[in-house]
Structure 1
Amino acid sequence: MKTRLSVLLLGCLLLPGAALAAPAVADKADNAFMMLCTALVLFMTIPGIALFYGGLLRAKNVLSLMTQVTVTFALVCVLWVIYGYSLAFGEGNAVFGNLDALLLKGIGLTDLVGTFYKMIHVAFQGSFACITVALIVGAFAERIRFSAVLIFSVLWFTFSYVPMAHMVWGGGFLAADGALDFAGGTVVHINAAIAGLAGAYLLGKRAGFGKEAFKPHSLPMVFLGTAVLYIGWFGFNAGSAGMANEIAGLAFVNTVVATAGAILSWIFAEWMARGKPSLLGACSGCIAGLVAITPAAGTVGVGGALLLGLIAGVAGLWGVVVLKRWLHVDDTCDVFGVHGVCGIIGCLATGILTASSLGGTGYAQGVTMGHQLGVQALSVVVCVVWSGVAALIAFKIADMFVGLRVPEEQEREGLDVNSHGENAYNQ
């Protein structure tokens, strides 16, 4: 009798929902999925951003931009494992984590985040940090000193990217408030766009801007960079589900649909306004749709994603044509016009389109649309102010030590030869 009772009790303990929950177990499929997604996001920076931005510039500056992207990528990688990950995802206060995981101290090879290894989480989140800093340099390309880029990158990464990541994803006050940012609308796109806008203002307009024609030197390069970014973005959005599950599937489909909608709306709006549809417009619409769906990819329905993409295409075109003129700014690669405008729209729309009545996954229990929209608006405001102040301070410090801008004669000759001693093309 005692033996039968013991067997019965043991069986109860092994049943799902038993009082003693089973320990977390690593899932091979989830680990493989997250490593693939991490590689895709890294692919977005080198070569994606480098090719996309490089093609938009004049031929005499393409290598300078590619060098800035490559070296800031490496710089952020190193800073991320030294202290960035710890401050972003360690337990701390409302703004910063702690320094317990300096140089990834204390993170074991078998430690888990959900069902995948924590080391992969370090790499995945680090890839987001790398691309965010790389996005910024497109706003003030063709006139900034390389040394100033490096000083700015260290300071802004430390005092803007890291705290925003902690506030939204690491358990900080915006996370506690219920902000929805599935894959980086605030942390990545708005954050980078505001910093880029600040830099464009502080450096001033390029020599000859408004008087000379500044055309992209290689639209095929822009197209190739766009294609790389589009492919990599599936790692960006689907990977933010944290496992190969139904939310990853939803994010994947939403990314396809929103992007397609934005390409079409940008092209047709451009066609109506300018008389001709362009490849540059299609590429720009692609990026606009990807940016807008990023914060919403895992919570809105497919219909909501299509609507968001259609809005983003027109909004992005307005941002780079009308808003840029209103702001009187020389944002070289239209970082704010696309990433800023569409990032803000995507973040706010997430608060509306996540509603289950609109096909989304629904809000947290007891949360209304009005409340969620308010939280989303607060996260946008916090990001704009925080990134703007951090960027201004970082640029001023860089200016104080090395100066921000190259001399005009070097700028006119080109940064490739003057800053790096190279030419992209044989003359």
Structure 2
Amino acid sequence: MLASALPVALGVALGGHLSRRLRRQQLARRFIRLADDVPLDVLLEREVGVPVRDGNEVALHADGSIFDALEREIRSARESIHICEFMWRGTGDPSERIGRAVLERRPGVACRIVLDWFGSKRFDPDLERRLVASGCQVRRHAPLPDPFRCNHRRVLVFDGRTAFVGGFGIWKSWLGNGVGEEGWRDTAARVRGPAVGDLQRAFDDSLQAAGGQPLPAAAYPRLAPAGPHRVAVVASTPAWARATLAARMSYALLASARRRLWIANSYFVPDRSLQDVLLARARAGVDVRVLAPGPWHDVPLVQAGQRRTYRRLLAGGVRVFEYAASMMHAKTILADDACAIGSTNMDSQSLSFLWEASIVTDAPEAAAGLARRFELDLTRSYEIEPGAWRRRPGAMRLREAGAAVAEPWL
């Protein structure tokens, strides 16, 4: 029976891949064409399908500073603490620190936590018992029916009024300042204002997918303007053969750039359609730069897939840098003065198979902050020169060829 099912499964997988590939090529051409005349906010609402909310405040948090901000919000919460986290693991700081803050929350504050079965498989069982005993609801995003469709989101919402998104995990690798083996480089954003309601809905969807009940109406307070900025929340769910919201968001941002397109991404394995958009922007005179992981990488196969894209990108005028100070784990895009921050990588996993959450904003302070940090990170990186890349060792080429086999699922 297993032998007869295997060809069917392989056929379904291949069919899904071919369908996604065709659909993405069509979308790439569509977004390149539309972006010449359609502003980004219209692309987001009409082509991606997400609302763009006015009246928000956005603040950036880099590296280990996120844990100070989270602890403050947890201890200040008066109504609810909602945490959807792909990776919460281990003992000690920051796991114990954040867990202690939750345990010491104000009386009567509701606590709901959704963890991914894979990313948080080493969640401290003693901490989980203490959390449950304190009245906190802890749920797992289950591996069935599809073990590849993990919940990769990092969405934390407090009192329905303040939310955080980013690429961080609650683990020791995110301590520090983005330098050194145990100090991964990452960026998160704090959001206040009407867009928090959309992030609360993203948490609500994750909670229900993990078997929880829908949030009560009180979890959605009426949100007054908190700042002058526009924010779109892109909460993406898997789609086997269609284009996800995460994929559409990526096309929209890349195609909309007219001056600069600066990408920092931890798992940078863009398929040919995304490469086409990057190359089209470079041909149009846009300053296109990619900052990806270098010597420090936690998934060697993904790094080989990442480097397999360099030849075509470099030949087309895209500048590529590898971060040398630690693991580059940020997932940010700076397209002119618009920016995206969240959990979404530029690979097939994020754009097809995973639950993701990112924000897109026009906040000038956020764009300026991302630009400053990108420029600082470049001083801790080395640029991939086309001539030197053509002379790279044969062993590296062999690893890239091996990654090509798994590329549709990297």
TM-score, normalising length from structure 2?
0.27
Larger C-alpha radius of gyration, 1 or 2?
1
Greater RCO structure (CA 8 Å; 6+ sep): 1
TM-score, normalising length from structure 1?
0.26
